[in-house]
Amino acid sequence: MKVFGRYRQRWCVVGVVMTVFITCTIYMATHAVFDADVDLTPPRSVHGPIYPWDKHYRGPLANYDGDPSKEKAEDIIANGVKVQVEAKKEDKAAPKPDKKVPVDFVSEQKAVQLSRHKQLEDTCKKYPQLHIGAINVDTQRHILVNEKHKLLYCFVPKVGCSNWKRVLMKLVGKSNKPLAEITSDEAHYKHGMRRLQAYKPEDQKKMLETYTKFVYARNPFVRILSAYKNKYGDVVMYRKETYFHQFAKKMIKKYRENPSQRALETGENATWTEFVKYLTDPAKNYFDDHWEEMFKLCSPCKIKYDYIGHLETIGADAKYMLDTLGLSSQVEYPSPKTSHPTNSTSTFENSFSELTIAQLKGLWQIYQKDFELFGYEKPDFLPSTV
């Protein structure tokens, strides 16, 4: 019994020692594991990025913004391993998303569109007569239909419509040429799209309700100067487009003192002031689409356009629209390689400085609604009394 008692005492001591040893071992192991810092620094690996702030990343962390300063801890799964990102007020060492990422661009463009839509809505309320009646034939004739992508485009001459027709031609598969090789004649006459006017009334109604609709505007005074320079300021171009001769002949006959017989017969070299006299004549001369008011061509108070673009910012406006519609991978709006002379501030100011106060007032009365509807500021050179 004494021997058994001694063995029992020895085993008790051994048991206590073993228990202490095991407990210490477990404590040290778990302490080392759970107190280890989580390193969020992107590794310099030849195997490619695994972090979501890298713009090329498409892996399991694609929805994580790379910022661990959350209101509460989150569990992130990376390569099958669960990592807990602890809540922090601010971690200056953590990588930050690039400030130039498309998210900023999209946010800015959304704000621009909201502003333009509000301007349009407020102005439409100011002129309730613009809501009255059905959509006119002119508007039906100016809306091109892209059935494949469910798009309606109201084109306004002298507002980048040639390039938009080229873009739409590519989208509907009408041309395999690069955009730069599609001629103006092809864009205007062989684009392969029907106009809204060609559809039955019930189909028109459905398209206007369900299709994505867009329109582009331009400073109204710059637009009419561009129209004059394009149709009458260039004699070579003028001779090619015989349709516009009738208007030039009328301008010269009615507004020029002692015109030559050749000028009366050809209509060549009609001046800018003669063109303005034609526009502002109280007799209400015929307005071609190239100088017709934009609101008359596209009825913005009757049609709720999803995108309102400006030629002055067409690069950003077109990119935003094509991006949000998921079409930018198929086509891009062409960037202008050279500036147009009618966009020059000096050319614009010099041309309008030639006009009388009465002529300026007359132009403002015609195009005032276009200025207001599409958010263009009243020109400084207009009299304050206008």
One-letter amino acid identity for 358? A
Estimate the crossing angle of helix 345-353 against helix 220-228, to 10 degrees. 80
The DSSP secondary-structure symbol of 199 reads S
Please tell me the distance from the alpha carbon of residue 311 to that of residue 253, in angstroms, as a whole number.
34
Residues written for the chain: 386
Q: What is the structure's pLDDT at 92? A: 36
Query: Does the structure show a pLDDT above 90 at 89?
Result: no
pLDDT tens sequence across 153-211: 999 999 999 999 999 999 998 888 888 889 988 999 888 899 999 999 999 999 999 99
Paired tokens of 279: 């526009």
Chain segment 119-149, per-residue pLDDT in tens = 999 999 999 999 999 999 999 999 999 999 9
Instruction: Calculate the alpha carbon distances from 78 to 66, 82, 85, 139, 197 in Å.
Output: 13, 7, 12, 55, 56
In tens, the pLDDT along 236-268 reads: 999 999 999 999 999 999 999 999 999 999 999
Calculate helix-pair angle for 314-324, 102-126, nearest 10 degrees: 100
Strand partners, 151: 146, 212
Provide CB contacts within 8 A for 162, sequence distance 6+.
184, 187, 188
- Which pLDDT tens digit goes with each residue over 43-53? 333 333 332 32
181 DSSP assignment? G
pLDDT for 28 beyond 80:
no
Q: Hey, how many other C-beta atoms are within 10 angstroms of the C-beta on 160?
A: 22
Whether 29 has a pLDDT exceeding 90, the answer reads no
